[in-house]
Amino acid sequence: MGLRKLLFLPLISLSLTAAPAAFAQSAAAPHAAAPADPAADALRRAHAARRAGRWQEAEAAYRAAFAAAPHPAIEGELGLCELSLHKYVDAATHLRRALYNPRSLSPAQRQRFDDGLLRAEREVVGVEFVLSHPKAEVFLDGRFIGRGQPEYRFYVEPGRHEVRASLEGHVTQHVPFERWAGDVTAFPVVLDPIPRAPPREVIVRTTPPVPDRSGRNLRIAGASLALAGAALGVGFAIAAGARDDEAETQADTIRASYGRGGCLYEGISEVTLQCDALTATVSARNTFRSAAWASFIAGGVLGAVALSSLWWAPSPPSPSRAAVRPLVVAGGGGLAIGGVW
């Protein structure tokens, strides 16, 4: 029993002496493992380079610090370094962005950045434009600068430049401009839809209705047949007259040779021949006379039918060929008559 007490007491003392050492090591371990702040380290290097006048080194350090901790104060210091290096476009861009949130800056910083921005803007051209279609892609001198913004504000070097905006389904817009140091230019960029091809024009050639000319044709045919009947009647009448004269001559010859009753003597062959010839001539005369009358009657009937068609088959009205309009001129007036004849 006494031996156990002697062994237990050294173990307790060893545990009490080892515990503070272990606690001290565990408490000191986080401080030893904590990495250095890259932004703070870059700022220390930037401040040291700026105080020594090494502006290139200071610019690189401020740029690294801003990449690690994008704070307006760091961006403003970067802009002032760029101003000292005569990088006026970059300086104006960073200084203006640093002043977007002035509450995050001290009064002294705001004053320094304002003064630097004024100096930088005297050496560059300020460009501002509003885009009609924010989804359009915007290029400056062929370099893509943005998409999805309704308004753009930036700085460029003095001289000639071109803004180009393009959007599917719209005509690409080119806006060239030329400005000098200290100028500010503002303009709208309007994208018009690509005009659609006009629909093909369908030309329908309508044929005017053919007027009903049946009545006119009937009258022409009737008049023609009437004239033809009259002409035939005249021809037959002339032929009948010629045969009548021939019959009179034959009858006179028979009367002179055999008397008025010469044709009554059938036994005499000479008289019989002459009488037969007279009979044939008289028959032909009568035939021509009948044909003449028939032609005259037929022509008259056809002419009457053609004339009556003016009432039962009238022709369509003819278009007006003359027009009369009042004419009023300075100092007088009258009528203007025009037409086609």
CA-to-CA dists, residue 129 to 34, 54, 148, 185, angstroms: 49, 38, 14, 8
What pLDDT score does 8 carry?
38
How many beta carbons lie within 10 A of that of residue 159, not counting itself? 11
What pLDDT score does 95 carry?
97
* Phi, psi for 76 (deg, rounded to 5): -65, -40
Helices (H), 52-106: 55-68, 72-84, 88-98
Coil, helix or strand at residue 306: helix
What pLDDT score does 33 carry?
46
What pLDDT score does 130 carry?
94
Instruction: Please give the model's pTM, rounded to 2 decimal places.
Output: 0.50
Whole-angstrom distance, CA of residue 273 vs CA of residue 46: 162
pLDDT in tens, the chain (341 residues): 443 443 333 333 433 333 344 334 444 444 444 456 888 999 999 999 999 999 999 999 999 999 999 999 999 999 999 999 999 999 999 999 999 988 999 999 999 999 999 999 999 999 999 999 999 999 999 999 999 999 999 999 999 999 999 999 999 999 999 999 999 999 999 999 998 878 777 676 666 666 666 666 766 776 777 777 777 778 878 887 887 787 778 777 777 766 666 676 555 556 676 677 778 877 877 887 787 788 778 777 877 776 776 665 666 666 555 666 666 555 555 656 665 55
**Secondary element (H or E) of residue 152:** strand 151-156
